[in-house]
Structure 1
Amino acid sequence: MRLFTAAAQMRPIPRSPRFVNGAVSFWYRELGRPRRRAPLGGDADYDVCVVGAGYTGLWTAYYLKKEQPDLRVAVLDRHFAGFGASGRNGGWLSAEFPGPRERYARSHGKAAMIAFQRALMRTVEEVVRVAGDEGIDADVHQGGMRLVATNTAQRERLARDIAHLQEWGYWPDDLHMVDPDQDQGVAVDGITAAAYSPHAARIQPAKLARGLADTVEALGVDLYESTTVTEIRPRRGAARPAAVTELGTVHADHVIRATEGYTATMRGLRRDWLPMHASMIATEPVPAELWERIGWQGREVLGDSAHTYVYAQRTADDRIAVGGRGVPHRFGSEPDAEGATPPHTIAELWRSLVRLLPDVAEVPIEHAWSGVLGAPRDWLPTVDLDTGTGLGWAGGYVGSGVATSNLAGRTLRDLLLGRETELTRLPWVGRRVRGWEPEPLRWVGTRVTNGLYRTADRRESGSAGHTSRLAGLAGRISGR
């Protein structure tokens, strides 16, 4: 029955003869999987050991070596650099903040949260600058971010959200409503409202990850791939902190955990961050005559205002890559592998794409994939370094990690070098939250929440009403 159901779900979707589901991501298919670097060769000793070669780990290593070249830095990864969300995401380099701002304000004050938001805006520029300075060709195009609404409830919500954000660090020039009748952006079907922010850029995620990996290696960082860390040990008396692998143990003055969505695979950390899955599809290159109707000449990143939101980009070779919520959480926090995506998720993403841009209904889908990201129980990212144990960490980006991971890397640099800076004073430094509920509670909770959001979207699209109360219920259940 499962095979028949899957076939029925996929039947309406035009698929390329080259269609692939999984295989890490389309970004690596375009680029080619990297040749793996050598694994750890046995016990070793470093000043700093970073566990995880995604954006967070690579940025941390980059800024440490740029600031203090004589530091001995190692980065360990179970697969290869950029295998996880860093090589699978939607390519949104944006200043979006993933969690409720009021929670940071309650502990540090509103001004601290506004400073955090402004720092994220500057981070977009920082990533663009580093890519240029280091010669990393990541298809970077700083066209900004466009958000659209396609029904009355979404329009009201978008206007309300922007008014709210302009009290929390966005000034009018940073994010504002635009007249969809006068706007020459993207010809979204049924558009009722639109907003624009200049603080965003499109990237090719795997190219950025590979470029960063090559750059840190050239700076003298030892990058070990195919090296699975099973345990991170704190300082105990005279015993230094350590990352324990099947191939040897790395001792260091500090060990940084940069495992994000894979944190639940580490011993003792199963409930710290919930592994949540996001999925994407990419089309074949869209014909030029369709682009004339669609527009999108600015190549800004594009998102909608639904509760089960989608995010999209026009790629450098004129495809459309669109993503959204997939299977939100797998029972038992099972880790993601090669990124195969369920047929019903592929179908949902395709329907979302065609709903926004009906002109591409006949353009074949060439690739589908999924990735895993980390969600803390209060939905707020954190950075910290415990000088007593020698352990540090960063993550919990809830899908907004392309820019946030860079800010985390620079913040960890300052913490590791013992500096007090404007970055180390930001409100996410040192934040601790309780863990997630045990299974099956968290699996049931995420399934119910996702179902409520989807039902809320259906109700809003079928009426001229306000935001569905079901969305509010979903927010209360999830704690967002």
Structure 2
Amino acid sequence: MAHRTAFERHAPDPALVERSLAGSRQAVFWLEDAGAGPTYPALTASTTADLTVVGGGYLGLWAAVHAKRRDPGRRVVLLEAQTVGWAASGRNGGFCEASLTHGEDNGRSRWPEQHDDLVRLGAQNLDAFEADVRDLGLDCEWERTGTLEVAVEEHQVGWLADEPGFLDRDGVRAEVASPLFLAGALDTDGTALVHPARLARELARVAGDLGVEVHEHSAVSGLRRVAGGVEVATDRATVTSGDVVLATNVFPSLLRRNRLMTVPVYDYVLVTEPLTAEQRAAIGWERRCGLGDLANQFHYARLTSDDRVLWGGYDAVYPRGGRLHVRHEDRPASHARLAAHFLATFPQLEDVRFSHRWAGAIDTCTQFTAFYGTSHGGRVAHAAGFTGLGVGATRFAAEVLLDLLAGQENERTALRMVRERPLPFPPEPVAGIGINLTRWSLDRADHRGGRRNAFLRVLDRAGLGFDS
């Protein structure tokens, strides 16, 4: 029998929800907080390069930076369709996790024989990320705070009981005070917090300092193999390049073979006004760790440098036909639901107002972590499908792509995660039907003590299990 979730049992007065959102703006806090940054000229004249990077988000920026650090004499051109970091890289939650596999369960179930290696490589990557922040002088509000996972339903408590850093009811509420929290597990080392937009801008700054030629408003329309390399075409000019990295995230791939490999899923976020000292004291959170619950449709939360609470997740909305459009970013029902769940979690903050609300599209693939490949005779390397955990993993992925282009055989390129392609999504309308049936089933499981129905069990056996 279905039951109400904790967020429904503790639902606030609808008037409080409406009041909390009344003054909010549809705007990305991170991009607004970062302020006006440097601009980069559009590509207007054809040129040549040793490496062309398509995409000015984290993956493309890391690829450009790594390429120049490996070979300072290499001519690197980066082409961005709009502006550096404007999409997923500028509007995510700012969690930089060690995991390269979208969590332990996903990694262990898909690549059990390499799981320990993937964990070690992920930890090394996070440490190297931190070293880069220091050595490159990246002003991105880096905080190695760790994360706190919390159980909000009785059946979830058992999922945490054997976890390192387990906290009982009193222990978890001593970390973050919420009447909904029944238990927790604290990982003090595996996650850092960053300012997403500042990180993107700082990586672009470093790339420019290293000699990368960055061009904004230079959308790539096609690739063509030519003698000695690949021609990368924009509307106004071309770059004839020895090698190419494709880092286009959720946007339609320039490779036809990858058009069904990812789908967009919209994620919704709220940010509060800065908390007062009294409000901070009411919730504790002295460790400033990242926060997430264990539901299929989960929430994530963190504090900003000026003590706002970022609160996101739960709804994961697949747009009709799988088409990206700015209209999907303003979804009042999703933001109202988020606000209600926030007030249920922190009733002591009922007077807090939300200043910003926004959404962004996540590039989801069927293995829920990045897949890799090459084309055009090994001259073009690509990665996509990070499924919302790309802040740290894109740094690792950039190294992998450069290794693939160089023909290197090493521990990274030998990973099954790198060598094998996941299953593609079916074409529309089948994809939409299946994705929305999955979302319905996950919601049903959250209302039935975590019990997964026959449809979800079939997906699990096929390696296609999913959560929000």
Q: TM-score, normalized by length of structure 1?
A: 0.86
Write the letter of the residue equivalent to 2:141.
Answer: D
How far is the alpha carbon of 1:258 from its aligned partner? Answer: 0.5
Change (3 A) 1:472 1:268: closer
Residue 415, structure 1, aligned to residue 404, structure 2 = yes
Change (3 A) 1:294 1:420: same
Preserved contact between residue 395 and residue 405 of structure 1 (Cα < 8 Å): no
Distance, in Å, in 2 between the alignment partners of 1:265 and 1:432 is 17
**Is there any run of 5+ residues in structure 2 with no aligned partner, and where?**
1-12
SS, match of residue 292 in structure 2:
strand
Residue 261 in structure 1 maps to residue 267 in structure 2: no
Partner of 2:383: 394
Deviation at 1:215, TM superposition (A): 0.8
Q: Which residue of 2 aligns with 1:148?
A: 150
Structure 2 CA distance, aligned partners of 1:132 and 1:266?
A: 36
Q: Which moved more, 1:214-223 or 1:440-449?
A: 440-449
Shift of 1:205: 0.5
SS at match of 1:45: strand
Residue deviations 1:129-172 (CA, integer Å, cap 9, x gap): 21122222211111111000011122223447x4xxxxxxxxxx
* Residue 150 to residue 326, structure 1, CA distance change in 2 (3 Å): closer
Name structure 1 gaps, 5 residues minimum: 1-7, 163-174, 461-465
Distance across 1 between alignment mates of 2:327 and 2:416: 35
Q: Which amino acid is 1:134 matched to? A: L
Amino acid at match of 1:73: V
**Cα offset, 1:13, TM superposition:** 2.9
Confirm whether residue 322 of structure 1 aligns to residue 311 of structure 2.
yes
The CA distance in 1 between the partners of 2:438 and 2:176, in whole Å, is 31
Among candidates 36, 39, 54, match of residue 51 of structure 1: 54
Give the secondary structure class of the aligned counterpart of 2:269.
strand
Matched ranges for 1:111-190 at <5 A: 111-159=113-161, 162=163, 175-183=164-172, 184-190=174-180
Cα deviation for residue 84 of structure 1 reads 1.2
Matched, 1:67 2:103: no
Q: Which residue, out of 13, 28, 33, partners 2:18?
A: 13
Q: 1:244 to 1:474 in 2, by over 3 A?
A: farther
**Match of 1:431, as an amino acid?**
E
User: CA 1:74 to 1:103, structure 2 compared with 1: closer, same or farther past 3 Å?
Assistant: farther
Q: What secondary structure sits across from 2:265 in the alignment?
A: strand
What does residue 426 of structure 1 align with? 415
After superposition, the Cα gap between the structure-2 partners of 1:129 and 1:473, relative to the gap in structure 1 and judged at 3 Å, is same
Secondary structure class of the residue paired with 1:147: strand
- CA–CA separation in structure 1 for the residues paired with 2:295 and 2:213: 43
Task: Name which of 93, 98, 118 aligns with 2:102.
Answer: 98
Shift of 1:304: 0.4
Report how far residue 341 of structure 1 moved: 2.7
- Asked if structure 1 preserves the Cα contact closer than 8 Å seen for 2:311 and 2:342, the reply is yes
Counterpart amino acid of residue 95 in structure 2: W
Instruction: Count the aligned residue pairs.
Output: 447
Cα–Cα, structure 1 residues 409 and 38, in superposed 2: closer, same or farther, change >3 Å? Answer: same
Distance between the aligned counterparts of 1:394 and 1:210, measured in 2? Answer: 21
CA distance in 2, matches of 1:60, 1:355: 42
Task: Indicate whether 1:86 and 2:89 are aligned.
Answer: yes
User: Is the CA contact (8 Å cut-off) linking 2:292 and 2:299 kept in structure 1?
Assistant: yes
Structure 1 position 102, deviation (Å): 4.6
Deviation of residue 15 (structure 1)? 4.0
For 1:188-203, list aligned pairs within 5 A.
188-197=178-187, 198-203=189-194
Give the secondary structure class of the aligned counterpart of 1:432: coil
Match of 1:166 in 2: none
SS of structure 1 residue aligned to 2:150? strand
Q: 2:4 maps to what in 1?
A: none
The residue aligned with 2:269 is 280
Q: Percent identity?
A: 28
Residue 206 in structure 1 maps to residue 197 in structure 2: yes
What is the aligned counterpart of 2:259 among 256, 259, 270? Answer: 270
2:211 matches 1:220:
yes
Q: Please say which of residues 401-410 and 373-382 is displaced more in the overlay.
A: 373-382
C-alpha distance 266-383 of structure 1, shift in aligned 2 (>3 A): closer
> How far apart are the structure 1 equivalents of 2:411 and 2:351?
51
Cα distance change on mapping 1:435 and 1:81 into 2, 3 Å: same
Residue equivalent to 1:446:
435
Contact kept? 1:282, 1:365, Cα under 8 Å: yes
Shift in Å at residue 306 of structure 1? 0.9
C-alpha separation between the residues in 1 aligned to 2:255 and 2:341? 35
Give 1:467 deviation, angstroms: 3.7
Q: Is the 8 A contact 2:16 2:350 kept in 1?
A: no
Contact preservation (8 Å) 2:49, 2:240: yes
- Distance in 2 (CA, whole Å) between partners of 1:42 and 1:435 is 37
| AA partner of residue 274 (structure 2) | P
Q: Tell me, what secondary structure is at the counterpart of 1:13? A: helix
1:365: how far off? 0.7
Q: What residue in structure 1 maps to residue 464 of structure 2?
A: 479
Q: Which residue of 1 aligns with 2:40?
A: 37
Distance in 2 between residues matched to 1:373 and 1:266, nearest whole Å: 19
Summarize the alignment of residues 333-344 of structure 1 with structure 2, pairs less than 5 Å apart. 333-337=322-326, 340-344=329-333
- 2:344 aligns to what? 355
